[in-house]
Amino acid sequence: MTPHLLYAFTGLLLFVTGLFGMIALDHLLRKLLALNLMGSGTFLVLVGLAQHRNGVDPVVQALVLTGIVVAIAATALGLVLIRRYYHLSGRSSLEPDTNDEAGP
Amino acid sequence: MRRWATPSLLAVCFALVCVLGLGLWSIAFDPVGKSLPERVRDAMGSSGVDHPVTAVLLNFRSYDTLLEIGVLVIAAIAGISMARLPSLEDPAFRTHDALLGALQRWFVPLMWLVAGYLVWAGAKQPGGAFQAGAVLAATGVLMRLGGMPMDFLQPGRLLRVGLVLGFAVFLLVAFVTALVGDAFLAYPEGMAKSLILLIEVSLTLSIAMVLLSLFVAAPVTDATGNQEGGHR
Amino acid sequence: MMAWLMAGLLFTPLAWAVMSLMAGFRAGWRLAWLGMAVQGLVSVLLWLAIADQGGFYYALGDWPAPLGIELRVDGLAVTFILLTATVATACGLHAGVYLDPDKPWQRYFWPLFWFLWAGLNAVWLGADLFNLYVGLELISLSAVGLVALGGAGDALRASLRYLLAALVGSLFYLLGVALIYGQFGTLSLGGVAQLAEDHTALAGAGIALALMLAGLALKTALFPLHGWLPPAHGIAPSPVSALLSALVLKASFYIAARLWLALGETQGSYGVAQLAGALGAAAVLWGSWMACLQPRLKQVVAYSTVAQVGYLFLLFPLTWQVSDQISQQAQEGMTLQVISHALAKAAMFLAAGNLVLSTGSSKVEDLAGVGRFLPFSLFSFGLAGVSLMSLPPSGGFAAKWLLLQATIGSGQWWWALVLIAGGLLSAAYVFRIYRASFQEASGQDDFHHPPRRLEAIPMALALLSLGLGLAGEPVLAIMGLPFEEDG
């Protein structure tokens, strides 16, 4: 059990914690935070597992940098949408749609 | 959420952790195939930079980086499309604080310096366009919170040029390398270092601009709605 | 020559995104004409070139995989590229007339449109697992931006839901990629497939494959993960709905199919294959049934997408440990289903947009009397419906015929029942729209006539979808071209 592998298992735990939050929490900001937790967990698994295997691995470090930028873009877009949604409807959660009977 | 939902969700999550943990364990002690970092080490000589991560980002896997900047630009476009003000920022959010103003006079130039250093250092140590852009954007956030007017954040031509500058330069380099070289994003011999630096600097500016405009974009005016067919 | 074609394909959409961000909506539209012409030309030339010489790998930056990123240019990829060029051009032409150019936010439509197109091309060609992730995110974010553009509360709620679902799906996929990299030490799909053949039944790789498929199923709105789709596709402007239903969903399915065909045989299992098929079957039945109940016209079309996507997932059981011939039939059926559904659904959404524009209402019951005023759009809607109902000679029929043969050939007769029931149910919801339109109006006769071009575009798409059944052979011949592994 190298420290890198410990990181990978921690990442796994974070991922599932984030997934739980994503489903169980209602507030949109919390959902977005849960999503970021899932993202961080994924990056930890990516780096931890690869470095356990290869030692220092510049490829995964670069991948994670790319992944972080993508995650930031998505989070920022989500925040802008949430702010505008809150501004227009005064609500901070996605309630079930009443007028179009859209699934769960 | 119904009463039984949370415990059963917890049970599902626990099962997922177990399955994934088993998978991770079996992967960690039974890897197959060769290792990629060795190939990176072998190819470093012709990459134009000394730091392997920068080499992967801007040379070996530069297509990823190009698309990734595209993702950032998309977020910025979607962000500024939400704000319908002559200026992106909402004047009502401006604050004036003497202490903040005094601090800023110290911090802002220092942070600019740090950002510049980070771009430069990216070639041989950890650093690079994204880190520098983030620091630069943080400077903007600080200025914005301190109530400094930021007229360049009007959603006009200047802002849009700033948002896509880095992306456009990157794309242009890709085109030109195709014209004179062999393949897309294949930097010609000896030019790799300066081209990468050019890309890094313009990316830094654009990344800072994207992050800052997403931070200030205020959802002020009411939408008139684009729903087809109205609510009849 | 080939380098120029690849360049045109990958970089014109990106360059056009930058240029149209500088222009307003009207100038962006004029620019888009040129861009669509270039894209169309390049796609056709590339298609012809592949038909002539067969597929090849294209290494970006002259760094071959696994160090660099390689693109896999084969018959299937160019077929989808050509499909994208057709459908996106149609949607672009429709949008240029359909969207109100005086709304200040419409200027951002074209940049997002071009980024979406770039992302789609990147996914069709992608052969690198991480690059596919970036391509998927490019598509998701621009699609979310298009749904939210100028949106009011409902549109924002729909786009937020879409964003969250899409991101969770991407993260599942990425976690799978992380495990695959840990297992095989490479990101190139070809390299992974080769290693997987030498080392069968690795527990970790199986779990990674399942994770990736689950994430992609969420992004493809496979039942029961489809909740985000109807609001988003129903509320977006019609050209955007058409793009989302016809192309965006297919991108994530395409990756899932490629993964399955590369790794399924060695790392998959009977359970995973049957589960994917069962969920697909449930989607066909549930989606069609819900489409029959929806009060709003575009929701009917959106639920029909949920159903039609279900058919695609029959690919999984029909290609797992069966003979090469049956697997080939199933793959051909899947390809034809993707193409015919893309054309038919784009036609249907665009025609539905015309109907909504003309009646000024989004409700099905308010269509009463429109049958006398707008027969042309209604006719396009019906023609597209013929393909969805899979009546001969449409592309939908040819697709389901192939799938049916594969079901019988592999002895999994239970999927055949789904194919038949799905066809009947889709007839029910198409005829429901027709019945509503031909009902005599109760005083409502102030219909607005949309411009001719808006009516011609869905008609052209519907005819293409219908004609696909007749021209299926040559299309499939290109798709199944042998691939030169060393090229």
Nearest to C366 by CA among C379, C380, C352, C376: C352
pLDDT band for B20, please (50, 70, 90 cuts): very high
Positive or negative: CA dihedral B31, B32, B35, B36: negative
Supply the mean pLDDT for chain C: 88
The phi, psi pair for A31, rounded to 5°, reads -60, -40
What pairs with residue C57 in β-bridges?
C72
Give me the pLDDT at residue C346, please.
94
Q: Between chains, do B53 and A52 touch, taking CB under 8 Å as contact?
A: no
Q: Which structure tokens are listed for B85? A: 């003000």
**DSSP secondary structure of B22-87:** HHHHHHHTS--S--HHHHHHHHGGGTS-S-HHHHIIIIITHHHHHHHHHHHHHHHHHHHHH--SSS
Give me the pLDDT at residue A102, please.
37
Judge whether A29 is closer than 8 Å to chain C, CB to CB.
no
Neighbours, chain B (3 or more CB pairs < 8 A) = A, C
Residues of chain C in contact with residue B229, where contact means CB-CB under 8 angstroms, are 356, 359-363
pLDDT tens for chain C, 487 residues: list them: 777 788 888 889 999 999 998 888 888 899 999 999 999 999 999 988 888 888 888 888 778 878 888 888 888 899 999 999 999 999 999 999 888 888 888 889 999 999 999 999 999 999 999 999 999 999 999 999 999 887 777 888 999 999 999 999 999 999 999 999 999 988 999 889 888 888 877 888 899 999 999 999 999 999 889 889 999 998 899 999 999 999 999 999 999 999 999 888 888 888 899 999 999 999 999 999 999 999 898 999 999 999 999 999 999 999 888 888 888 888 888 988 999 999 999 999 999 998 888 888 888 888 877 777 777 888 888 889 888 888 888 888 888 888 888 888 888 888 899 888 988 999 999 988 888 888 776 655 667 777 888 888 999 999 998 888 887 777 777 766 554 443 3
Provide, for chain A, the percentages of residues in helix, strand and coil under a 3-state DSSP scheme, each rounded to the nearest 5.
Answer: 80, 0, 20
Give me the pLDDT at residue B105, please.
83
Judge whether C234 is closer than 8 Å to chain A, CB to CB.
yes
Neighbours, chain A (3 or more CB pairs < 8 A) = B, C
SS3 of C483, please?
strand
- What's the CA gap between C49 and B182, in Å, rounded? 20
**DSSP secondary structure of B91-159:** GGG----HHHHHHHHHHHHHHHHHHHHHHHHTTTSS--HHHHHHHHHHHHHHHHHTT---GGGSTTHHH
Which of C140, C175, C231 minimises the CB distance to A97? C231
CB < 8 Å from B in window 230-249 of C: 235, 237-238
C39 secondary structure, DSSP code: H
* Statement: residue A11 has pLDDT above 50: yes
Query: How many contacts (CB atoms, under 8 Å) link B and C?
Result: 214
- First-to-final CA distance of chain B: 32
SS3 of B105, please?
helix
Q: Does domain A3-89 have CATH number 1.10.287.3510?
A: yes
- What's the CA gap between C12 and C441, in Å, rounded? 49
In whole angstroms, how far apart are CA C297 and each of C84, C94, C131, C365, C367? 25, 19, 37, 9, 9
Q: Between chains, do C155 and B167 touch, taking CB under 8 Å as contact?
A: no
Q: Between chains, do C156 and A38 touch, taking CB under 8 Å as contact?
A: no
Q: Between chains, do C156 and A85 touch, taking CB under 8 Å as contact?
A: yes
C298 belongs to a structural domain: yes
What pairs with residue C128 in β-bridges?
C188
Nearest to A59 by CA among C39, B36, C420: B36
Q: Between chains, do A72 and B17 touch, taking CB under 8 Å as contact?
A: no
- What's the CA gap between B75 and C250, in Å, rounded? 22
Which of C130, C171, C182 minimises the CB distance to A53? C182
Q: Between chains, do A52 and C182 touch, taking CB under 8 Å as contact?
A: yes
Q: Which structure tokens are listed for B80? A: 């500024």
**DSSP secondary structure of C23-36:** S-HHHHHHHHHHHH
What pairs with residue C58 in β-bridges?
C71
- What's the CA gap between C462 and C477, in Å, rounded? 23
C362 belongs to a structural domain: yes
pLDDT band for B94, please (50, 70, 90 cuts): low
Averaged pLDDT for residues B24-37? 84
Query: In this predicted model, which residue has the larger pLDDT, C72 or B45?
Result: C72
Query: In this predicted model, which residue has the larger pLDDT, B104 or B189?
Result: B104
Residues of chain B in contact with residue A26, where contact means CB-CB under 8 angstroms, are 1
Q: Count structural domains, chain C.
A: 1
- What's the CA gap between C380 and C369, in Å, rounded? 17
Judge whether A38 is closer than 8 Å to chain C, CB to CB.
yes
* Statement: residue B227 has pLDDT above 60: no
SS3 of B221, please?
coil
Judge whether B183 is closer than 8 Å to chain A, CB to CB.
no
| Chain C residue with minimum CA distance to A87 | C153
Secondary element (H or E) of residue C71 = strand C70-73
| Weakest-pLDDT range from B80-89, B156-165, C423-432 | B80-89
Judge whether C204 is closer than 8 Å to chain A, CB to CB.
no
Nearest to C76 by CA among C104, C100, C47: C47
Give residue C448's domain range: 270-487
Which of A22, A88, A102 minimises the CB distance to C227? A102
C197 belongs to a structural domain: no
- What's the CA gap between B43 and B39, in Å, rounded? 6
The pTM of the full predicted model, rounded to 2 decimals, is 0.93
C55 secondary structure, DSSP code: B
Judge whether A13 is closer than 8 Å to chain C, CB to CB.
no
C38 belongs to a structural domain: no
- What's the CA gap between B214 and A75, in Å, rounded? 10
Which of C185, C208, C298 minimises the CB distance to B31? C185
Residues A18-48 have pLDDT tens digits of 999 999 988 999 999 999 999 999 999 999 9
Q: Which structure tokens are listed for C435? A: 């019945």
Largest CA distance in chain A: 55
Query: In this predicted model, which residue has the larger pLDDT, B218 or C299?
Result: C299
Q: Which amino acid is at C472?
A: G
| Weakest-pLDDT range from B41-45, B80-84, C345-349, C388-392 | B80-84
Q: Which residues contact C480 (CB under 8 A, 6 or more apart)?
A: C75, C328, C331, C332
Query: How many contacts (CB atoms, under 8 Å) link A and B?
Result: 115
Residues of chain B in contact with residue C59, where contact means CB-CB under 8 angstroms, are 183
pLDDT band for B226, please (50, 70, 90 cuts): very low
SS3 of C73, please?
strand
Which of C144, C198, C360 minimises the CB distance to B230? C360
**In chain B, what percentage of residues exceed pLDDT 70?**
79
C25 belongs to a structural domain: no
Residues A67-102 have pLDDT tens digits of 999 999 999 999 989 988 888 888 888 875 444 433
Judge whether B42 is closer than 8 Å to chain A, CB to CB.
no
- What's the CA gap between C373 and C61, in Å, rounded? 56
Give me the pLDDT at residue B128, please.
80
C460 belongs to a structural domain: yes
Q: Which residues contact B111 (CB under 8 A, 6 or more apart)?
A: B135, B136, B138, B139, B142
C366 belongs to a structural domain: yes
Q: How far is C37 from chain A (nearest CA, A)?
A: 31
Neighbours, chain C (3 or more CB pairs < 8 A) = A, B
Which of B27, B75, B219 minimises the CB distance to A77? B75
Give me the pLDDT at residue C472, please.
72
Give me the pLDDT at residue B219, please.
60
